[in-house]
Structures are given as structure tokens and as C-alpha cells.
Amino acid sequence: MSGSLAIVGLGPGEARYLTPSALAALEAASDLVGYGPYLDRVPERAGQAKHASDNRVEVERARHALMLAAEGKAVAVVSGGDPGVFAMAAAVFEALEAGEPSWRRLQITVEPGITAMLAAAAKAGAPLGGDFCAISLSDNLKPWEVVTARLSAALSADFVIALYNPISKARPWQLGKALELAATIRAAETPVIFARAVGRPDENLRVLTLTEAVAAADSADMATLVMIGASATRLIAREGRNPIVYTPRSVTKSPCATSQGRT
């Protein structure tokens, strides 16, 4: 087949967060497929068609992209952040596995982007300096009981935890329940980061205690990345500014512990 499909991560917001490789894939595409607000972030180019769709039709969007590529077109599926993190890459491969056998002959590439937890971590300091994990609070594709079981395990294992898809109009209660669960396992003074719209003009970053975060849960939205610190996560106070949040690489709490891992 002469068609191709690139699954492209747009990063968290501004064009400066877009990798050169992702930009090249966008420029080479004859057709762009994606969620409408993400497509709006891609500049208009002469001769390039845009195919926008709603947020909850990922697999249908992926099938459409594969069909366009099978027709010989150079297709780019756009995704916010990194396409492999709770995003379009998995949807495309799900559609590929269940779809036409001929689609498997297509040239398919994944162009990574800066995912929300990495953008938020960079703004806050280095909260992901130790072991960490990412959990989506959305129960659209998995039962809430699975979410809470995984969250409980991660909390007990003392990971720093990045919470994606924390809250929406359809499920306004889930972040509060997740943070209440965290408060039964983690100390009340555990640092929690609320990072909203990182990389965009309306960016906002708050560093709270876990107790404060429980009370502030309803102030988050789908543009917010919530990060729960581990027992070793530390704050460096700065007058008039957010503290620096970091997690030492060592499992000890000493800020000058013997180096473990890369420097």
C-alpha cells in the first residue's frame, strides 16, 4: 500500500513544545484526523484536509484514519500530549488489530510528544525523580472498582502518582473520592500538584497539601493534571513563588543521600 499513517503527539500546548519530528509528520500529511480542539492547534496548510470528530469516538476516528491511509493518503492522527499515554496510539492499534487485514501493510509510525505529567513535573521541579506511575481516573473504558484497586496498590507502594482525566461534567466526584482514598494511606502534608493547562496561556500550577487537595478537588477539570507525592517528596520554599517540588532518587529522605542511578 502506498498510503501512510503517523500518530502525532502535539505536546501540552504551545508550538514550542512540538518536536521537529512531529512537525515534519504534520507538514507531510495530506489529511489530518483528530479531536476538533486538537486539530485547531495545527496551522492551516494549503491542500491539507482536516477531519474533526468528537472526544469519545477514538476507535471510530482511528478506523477513519486507517481507511484514508488505505486509499493512498498520507494521514496524520493528532493527539494532545503524547499519543501513547491514554491517547490515540492505542486506539489506532486496536482498530488495526480488529480491522481489514490489508491495513497491516500500511506504513504506521508513532511520533511522541510531551505528555502532561512531564510538562507539569518540569514546571514544578522534579517530582518524578523517584519511582512513579500514571493512572487515568476515567471509568469510560474500565470499571471504577479497577481504578480504585490500582490506585490503592500504587499508594501503598509509595509511588508518586500522576492522575490523568481527573474530573468532568459527567463524573465530577471521582477526583474527590481518589484524593480521599489517598488521605487514608498518605500523610496529610503530602505534596499534591494541581497543574492546569500547562504550556497554554491560561496555565496555572498550585502546590497543595493532601488535606488541601481533598478540599480543592472540585476546582480541577479535564485540563488539570493532578500529581500526588510520595513519602520522600520534598519542598524547597521560595519567597513569593511556588515551592520547588522534587522526589529524591534515593529511597532515603536525606537531600544529600548517596547517588543512585543517573546523575
Q: How far apart are CA 34 and CA 52, in angstroms?
A: 5
Q: Where are the alpha helices (DSSP H) in 167-232?
A: 174-183, 210-215
**Integer CA distances (angstroms), 139 to 30, 190, 200, 212, in order:** 35, 26, 27, 25
**Integer CA distances (angstroms), 86 to 134, 180, 211, in order:** 10, 24, 28
pLDDT tens across 176-216, in order? 999 999 999 999 999 999 999 998 889 999 999 999 999 99
pLDDT tens across 73-113, in order? 999 999 999 999 999 999 999 999 999 999 999 999 999 99
pLDDT tens across 119-135, in order? 999 999 999 999 999 99
Residue type for position 185 = I
pTM (2 d.p.)? 0.90
Give per-residue burial for 159-195: e unless 16+ CB within 10 Å, then b: bbbbbbbbbbeebeebbbbbbebbbeebeeebbbbbb
